[in-house]
Amino acid sequence: MGGLQKKKYESGSATNYISRNKARKKLSLSLADFRRLCILKGIYPHEPKHKKKVNKGSTAQRTFYLLKDIRFLMHEPIVGKFREYKIFVRKLRKAYGKAEWGTAEKLRGNKPGYKLDHIIKERYPTFIDALRDVDDALSMCFLFSTFPRTGKCHVQTIELCRRLSVEWMNYIITLRSLRKVFLSIKGIYYQAEVLGQIITWLVPYQFAHDHPTDVDYRVMATFTELYTTLLGFINFRLYQTLNLVYPPKLDGKGEEESRAESEEDYAMDSERYMEVLLHLFCHSRFSHPCFGSLQEKLFEGLKFFLNREVPRESLAFVLRCFGAQVSWDKSLCIGSTYDVTDETITHHVVDRPSLEKQYINRYYVQPQWVYDCVNARMLLPVEDYFVGVTLPPHLSPFVEEKEGDYVPPEKLKLLALQKGERPEQEEEEEEEDNDDSEEEEDEDQSDDEDELKGMEEKCRVCRPIVLFQASSVKVTPGEAKPVNRQRAEQEAKAEEKRLAVMMMKKRDKYLYDKIMFGKKRSVREANKMSAKRKALDEASKANKKKKLKK
């Protein structure tokens, strides 16, 4: 025996974790810098299994990082840069305080900066890793590119975000890799497939933001810094795979040159560059027809004209992704290629209740048609989307209904259309199907009750024989009861199952109950939805009838 007594919290999980404050002190960084470092390096806190042990017996709320992670952060060159910057700020402040303008100017000239290239490389050792994580980067860049160029963040950042997002869209158009689009109340979701990776991003509608006060823009800016670097490198790589020059040049001129050239023509040079890039790029020599499969040639050969009230950028992007030609009013934006009067226009996208002047040889459709077509991967009948018509619901293409989930009837209709069935017949069948399924569900639910009832009935049958009845003994001809053999078998099976469930172990039973609870809840929700829909449909039918009668 003997030996030293083991002290508490000196081994095991207590030494594997470090609280945030301690980590901060270890790195001798301010909280803001520590946060920045964590964001850039992708270090996140960990939840220890035994919190109290890690917390040395205290139950106070703390954020824990892995000690390994913090050690990893310690030899990060950027930490030194942060310190340099801190010193720079101090010196500059001092110079300003002493009114030494020359010193201040000199200091500013030597402002320390840092690059994130090595961090990107370290976090994403392969290109595919980077592509996998590009969702958030895209959403953020698209959001920042819509910010006003005042306050909030640097104009350069906004311009860079805009440039990167435009370049990304160009790539998607060129490769025709857009898969799904969804108009939600939050913004427009796009889903593309790039090198086998499914990438989804969200673009807000083109409106001014009312900037919230409860958002820390510094955090957002740090993320954007990382994301712009990441997206820039990804764009470079993607352009390289297409044998294109990056950053893209228009007619052999870079951004700077074209800017210098056309200063009088356009208000914001940088914007002009973007616009031209976005709208001229796609139908120039760069487009690769070889990439298109059948689905990607959805709008091939169609000529669209966008009215001025529709979201031009989104529609142009989507349409060009599927091979259509797009134009708009000349006064609206740069890049229009043909006029409204062009006789070869096949579709005119309009989003207003009525149109005064209409051309005969083109369809006037609402913008939802384009998005629905893309999601359905086929040209839907245009009749439902004419000008002034009440639109059919716009469904999310991201929902994949599992067995037992609620499927809205519109989706069923769409599936039938995709299979090539005629819509009218399908409707009736559907209704029948629905009824059947509901009945079945009802049956399932009421199985137990039925059994009980059955037993009671049997009891009732028994009772007259058993009960002591002195008076009026009578013999009445019995009735042969039809025995539903299938039903009986099912019931027997159900009871067997119920009895077996009773014999489950406690642990299994818990899990089983949980699973069954979840299943039942989903069934209940689906039933609720279908009931709601049924009621709504009936109400609308009744309304229609009333109107007809009137």
Question: Footprint of other proteins on residues 264-303 (CB under 8 A)?
Answer: none
Q: How far apart are CA 267 and CA 456, in angstroms?
A: 87
Q: What is the rounded (10 degree) CA torsion for 68, 74, 78, 82?
A: 120
Q: How far apart are CA 357 and CA 350, in angstroms?
A: 12
Residues near 205 by beta carbon (within 8 Å), at least 6 away in sequence: 187, 188, 311
In one-letter notation, the amino acid at residue 29 is L
Residues 385-444 that bind other proteins (CB under 8 A): 390-391, 393-396, 398-399, 408-410
Binding to other proteins by residue 536, rule CB under 8 A?
yes
In one-letter notation, the amino acid at residue 428 is E
Residue 195 has φ and ψ, to the nearest 5°, of: 50, 40
Q: How far apart are CA 349 and CA 370, in angstroms?
A: 9
Q: How many C-beta atoms surround the C-beta of residue 549 within 10 A?
A: 6
Residue selected from 132, 154, 453, 541 as contacting other proteins according to rule CB under 8 A: 132
Q: Which is nearer to other proteins, 147 or 281 (CB)?
A: 147
Classify burial at 174, counting beta carbons within 10 Å of its beta carbon; exposed 0-12, middle 13-18, buried 19 or more.
buried
Binding to other proteins by residue 114, rule CB under 8 A?
no
| Residues forming a β-bridge with 337 | none
Residues 204-233 that bind other proteins (CB under 8 A): 204-205, 207-212, 214-216, 219-220, 223, 232-233
Q: Please name which of 458, 449, 448 lies closest in space to residue 497, comparing C-alpha atoms.
A: 448
Could you tell me if 48 and 54 are in contact, meaning their C-beta atoms sit under 8 angstroms apart? yes
Q: How far is the CB of 504 from other proteins (least distance, A)?
A: 6
Q: Which is nearer to other proteins, 185 or 360 (CB)?
A: 185
Q: Which is nearer to other proteins, 142 or 281 (CB)?
A: 142
Q: Which is nearer to other proteins, 202 or 278 (CB)?
A: 202
Could you tell me if 377 and 179 are in contact, meaning their C-beta atoms sit under 8 angstroms apart? no
Stretch binding other proteins (CB under 8 A), from 273-281, 288-296, 362-370, 426-434 = 362-370
Residues 317-336 that bind other proteins (CB under 8 A): none
Residue selected from 309, 436, 439, 457 as contacting other proteins according to rule CB under 8 A: 309
Q: Which is nearer to other proteins, 5 or 110 (CB)?
A: 110
Q: Please name which of 258, 362, 377 lies closest in space to residue 306, comparing C-alpha atoms.
A: 362
Q: Please name which of 293, 252, 272 lies closest in space to residue 162, comparing C-alpha atoms.
A: 272
Q: How far is the CB of 519 from other proteins (least distance, A)?
A: 8
3-state secondary structure of 250: strand
Residue selected from 32, 155, 355, 501 as contacting other proteins according to rule CB under 8 A: 501
Q: Which is nearer to other proteins, 455 or 542 (CB)?
A: 455
Q: Which is nearer to other proteins, 111 or 545 (CB)?
A: 111
Packing angle of the helix pair 423-466, 485-502 (nearest 10 deg): 80
Q: Which is nearer to other proteins, 300 or 384 (CB)?
A: 384
Could you tell me if 72 and 18 are in contact, meaning their C-beta atoms sit under 8 angstroms apart? no
Q: Which is nearer to other proteins, 34 or 299 (CB)?
A: 34
Residue selected from 56, 94, 253, 458 as contacting other proteins according to rule CB under 8 A: 458
Q: How many C-beta atoms surround the C-beta of residue 394 within 10 A?
A: 14
Residues 134-173 that bind other proteins (CB under 8 A): 135-136, 139-140, 143
Q: Which is nearer to other proteins, 432 or 448 (CB)?
A: 448
Q: How far is the CB of 7 from other proteins (least distance, A)?
A: 27
Residue selected from 84, 275, 300, 351 as contacting other proteins according to rule CB under 8 A: 351
Q: How far is the CB of 343 from other proteins (least distance, A)?
A: 27
Q: How far apart are CA 437 and CA 405, in angstroms?
A: 12
Could you tell me if 397 and 183 are in contact, meaning their C-beta atoms sit under 8 angstroms apart? no
Q: How far is the CB of 232 from other proteins (least distance, A)?
A: 4
Total of residues contacting other proteins (CB under 8 A) = 115
Query: Looking at residue 297, what DSSP letter applies?
Result: G
Q: How far is the CB of 292 from other proteins (least distance, A)?
A: 25
Could you tell me if 307 and 349 are in contact, meaning their C-beta atoms sit under 8 angstroms apart? yes
Q: How far is the CB of 139 from other proteins (least distance, A)?
A: 7
Stretch binding other proteins (CB under 8 A), from 116-124, 273-281, 283-291, 477-485 = 116-124
Residues 170-209 that bind other proteins (CB under 8 A): 182-187, 189, 200, 202, 204-205, 207-209
Residue selected from 13, 114, 247, 359 as contacting other proteins according to rule CB under 8 A: 247
Residue selected from 288, 511, 521, 541 as contacting other proteins according to rule CB under 8 A: 511
Q: Which is nearer to other proteins, 26 or 413 (CB)?
A: 413
Residues 35-74 that bind other proteins (CB under 8 A): 35, 38-39, 42-47, 63-64, 72
Q: How far apart are CA 145 and CA 184, in angstroms?
A: 19
3-state secondary structure of 61: coil
Q: Please name which of 203, 179, 194 lies closest in space to residue 321, comparing C-alpha atoms.
A: 179
Q: How far apart are CA 263 and CA 245, in angstroms?
A: 24
Q: Which is nearer to other proteins, 72 or 291 (CB)?
A: 72
Q: Which is nearer to other proteins, 116 or 173 (CB)?
A: 116
Residues 461-500 that bind other proteins (CB under 8 A): 462-463, 466-468, 492, 495-500
Binding to other proteins by residue 125, rule CB under 8 A?
yes
Q: What is the rounded (10 degree) CA torsion for 282, 287, 289, 292?
A: -60
Stretch binding other proteins (CB under 8 A), from 4-12, 417-425, 476-484, 501-509 = 501-509
Q: How far apart are CA 237 and CA 159, in angstroms?
A: 21
